[in-house]
Amino acid sequence: DAGVIQSPRHEVTEMGQEVTLRCKPISGHNSLFWYRQTMMRGLELLIYFNNNVPIDDSGMPEDRFSAKMPNASFSTLKIQPSEPRDSAVYFCASSTLAGIYEQYFGPGTRLTVT
Amino acid sequence: DQQVKQNSPSLSVQEGRISILNCDYTNSMFDYFLWYKKYPAEGPTFLISISSIKDKNEDGRFTVFLNKSAKHLSLHIVPSQPGDSAVYFCAARTLTADKLIFGTGTRLQVFP
């Protein structure tokens, strides 16, 4: 099993640019989570999907952030426009609905906005 | 407002000794708790969990203790090994929510 795949692994962009992070969950998993890791707040849940449907987006910090899951094998997290304070490591995780608390994380995307 | 708090950002322990990582929570509705381990440049991986109906769960060198009255849980690693050096995240969930609330993490360093 390839595990959760995230791309890119690193992204450096200038303030104001659009950033798109991508995630491919583990095949057969029907829950997908987007997290952001910062020193101050640890791992914050941004949004999660069950069966491709967004269930809770209360963690999305602002309207500049949006996420989609067009099918069971792909999700995107978009930031438009990006700001320096968005710099963080963004993780995608997936799980089965039954094992929803034992989530499998991808390697993360380190985003730097200058 | 952090509902799950890990007040020690770092911990250094000698190989072979016990490592104790602590976690406090504020939400009395939390009913399930987990620990995740994270190596550099990798995503967190699930380590061990405990239900609120228990006060202890053991898996090999790892034991998690839960004190509901104090809203406190701890992870004990004994004996500690250099490969245990990582960041450890505590997480919790409520019965009605499909999501985990994570702490800020504790960086454990095990030295020879």
pLDDT per position as a tens digit, B20-71: 999 999 999 999 999 999 999 999 999 999 999 999 999 999 999 999 999 9
Q: What is the pLDDT of residue A15?
A: 97
Q: Given an 8 Å threshold on Cβ–Cβ distance, is B98 in contact with A55?
A: yes
CA-only gyration radius of chain A, Å: 13
- Does the beta carbon of B35 lie under 8 angstroms from any beta carbon of chain A? no
Instruction: Please tell me the predicted confidence (pLDDT) of residue B102.
Output: 92
Examine the pLDDT at B10 and tell me if it is beyond 90.
Answer: yes
Residue B49 contacts A where some CB pair is shorter than 8 Å: yes
C-alpha torsion sign, points B47, A33, B94, B8: positive
Between chain A and chain B, the number of residue pairs with CB atoms below 8 A apart is: 60
CA distances from B88 to A21, A32, A80, B64 (A): 25, 22, 32, 13
Identify whether B40 is preceded by a cis peptide bond (ω within 30 of 0): no
Q: What is the pLDDT of residues B65-108, one digit of tens each?
A: 999 999 999 999 999 999 999 999 999 998 777 788 999 999 99
Long-range contacts of B58-67 (CB under 8 A, 24+ apart): B62/B35, B64/B33, B64/B35, B66/B33
The single residue listed with the structure tokens 């910090």 is A61
pLDDT at A51: 93
Distance between CA atoms of A49 and A23, rounded to whole angstroms?
13
Tell me what pLDDT residue A99 has. 61
The answer for residues whose C-beta is within 8 angstroms of residue B15's C-beta and 6 or more apart is B79, B80, B81, B82, B110, B111, B112
CB spacing of A102 vs B49 below 8 angstroms: yes
Partner residues linked to B38 by β-bridges? B87
Q: What is the pLDDT along chain A (114 residues), one digit of tens a residue?
A: 689 999 999 999 999 999 999 999 999 999 999 999 988 888 999 999 999 999 999 999 889 999 999 999 999 999 999 999 999 999 999 998 766 678 999 999 999 999
pLDDT at B18: 98
Chain B: closest CA distance from residue A56 (Å): 9
pLDDT reported for residue A1? 63
Determine the distance in angstroms separating the CA of B69 from the nearest CA of chain A, rounded to an integer.
23
